[in-house]
Amino acid sequence: MGVAVVGAGVISAEYLRTLSTFPDIRLVAVADIAPERAAAAARTHGIPLAGDVPTVLDEPDVELVVNLTVPAAHARVAAAALRAGKHVYGEKPLTPAPAEAEKLVAEASERGLLLGGAPDTFLGAGLQSAIRAVRAGHIGRPVAATTAVQSLGPESWHPDPAFFYQPGAGPLFDLGPYYLTALVALFGGVARVASTAARAREHREVGSGPKAGQFFPVDVPTHVSALLDFASGANANSTFSFDSSHPRIRFEITGTEGTLAVPDPNTFRGPLRLRANGSDEWRELPVRGRTDGRGLGVVDMARAIRARERDGSARTRDKSAPDGGLSTHRASGALAFHVLQTMTAITQSAAVGAFVPLPAQLVPPAPLPEDWDPTEATLSGS
């Protein structure tokens, strides 16, 4: 499937590296508002076309656009790609505002196109093994989760970090999608949330690169604590912070028969550990699946598109689903939209000091088969 990457910033290097190794994906073009960045990325990865967004969207070999622009540009670029007849997979968040995301979901459906969204880390070996362990009953009935991601923020290492502190980012919108997507994949849709939020400083300083020493404004909360109730009956408490001098990553699931220590949801690997009720020790569980990196969701989406074309249907047969039923790709626009709605509700709750309900529920995506392999060509001849 012909793929174009729009946005040649820092994260594009990992996508381009990973996608170039998948035989089902052919990198056709790369676009950026800075032409020299697009040209450099194209040279590095042997991509035939580099240019601006209109040039790339006019290319007939481009079937799927991977939108890696900054959050403020997500809706505009995705809408342009859909109107050009391209399927779209976007970096998180799907858009900064739910109203924009809802329009994209509706437009993709009306045009018969698929919409997907990051993160796809939940498709990696670590989280897929965790999902299978929970479904296999290793901790009994899942009751609750505790998650935390804390640091002093990205300005010490990122050369241009101001966008991390603008609407659509901050620790909740930047890191929250990894944790919330994993929680939804484990527990299903969020029913309501409550939260508090704070902002430690009005300005921050760039710590590296050509802008080092420059100050920029902080326009979003930098410490968020949230309570989440899931429609399944489980709950979670989650902390997202750019204000902590004690870096910490924590993700634990408590069940009626034990506790599962889940790997960092911003990675594709393990370890995965189980502590059963009555035991004083953690036991490592096997971790099986893929650890390739960002782009697994793009491959799964490309295969769903081709399967849909073969079947002549917007839904495709998925033998890995619990009932052997029908499913679309896993890192879907619907999943990304639900996570965006959840983050928006967390923000609203912090402002009003009360629980905020979610308007719709979501069935969690089916786990990947243990032998699913993105490095094995499946789309040829389709």
Reported as type and span, the H/E element at residue 141 is none
3-state secondary structure of 97: coil
Beta strand pairing call for 26-31 and 49-51: parallel
CB-based contact 23:171 (threshold 8 Å): no
Question: DSSP labels for 241-296?
Answer: ES--SS-EEEEEEEESSEEEEPPPTTSS---EEEEETT-SS-EEEP--S----TTH
CB-based contact 169:204 (threshold 8 Å): no
Give dist(CA 218, CA 328) in Å, integer.
39
- For 326-356, b/e burial (b = at least 16 CB within 10 A) is ebbbbbbbbbbbbbbbbbbbbbebbeeeeeb
Is the pLDDT at 199 greater than 60? The verdict is yes
With cut-offs at 50, 70 and 90, classify the pLDDT of residue 313: low
% residues pLDDT > 70 (the chain): 95
Is the pLDDT at 305 greater than 90? The verdict is yes
- pLDDT digits 0-9 by tens, 19-64: 999 999 999 999 999 999 999 999 999 999 999 999 999 999 999 9
Is the pLDDT at 300 greater than 50? The verdict is yes
Give dist(CA 179, CA 188) in Å, integer.
13
Beta strands in 92-153 (DSSP E): 115-117, 142-150
Is the pLDDT at 129 greater than 60? The verdict is yes
- pLDDT digits 0-9 by tens, 233-272: 999 999 999 999 999 999 999 999 999 999 999 999 999 9
With cut-offs at 50, 70 and 90, classify the pLDDT of residue 309: confident
**Per-residue pLDDT averaged across 1-29, rounded?**
96
With cut-offs at 50, 70 and 90, classify the pLDDT of residue 320: very low
Look up residue 17 and give its amino acid. R
With cut-offs at 50, 70 and 90, classify the pLDDT of residue 76: very high
- pLDDT digits 0-9 by tens, 145-183: 999 999 999 999 999 999 899 988 899 999 999 999 999
- pLDDT digits 0-9 by tens, 351-362: 999 999 998 789
Question: DSSP labels for 286-298?
Answer: P--S----TTHHH
CB-CB neighbours of 325 under 10 Å = 11
Give dist(CA 329, CA 215) in Å, integer.
42
- pLDDT digits 0-9 by tens, 326-365: 347 999 999 999 999 999 999 999 999 999 999 878 989 9
Q: What is the pTM of this model?
A: 0.92
Give dist(CA 137, CA 258) in Å, integer.
10
| Rg from Cα positions in the chain | 20
pLDDT at 380: 62
Phi, psi of 267 (to 5 degrees): -130, 175
CB-based contact 272:291 (threshold 8 Å): no
Instruction: Give the tokens for residue 245.
Output: 């001098």
% residues pLDDT > 90 (the chain): 88
Sketch out the chain's domains with CATH numbers: 2-117 (3.40.50.720), 123-285 (3.30.360.10)
**Per-residue pLDDT averaged across 175-196, rounded?**
97
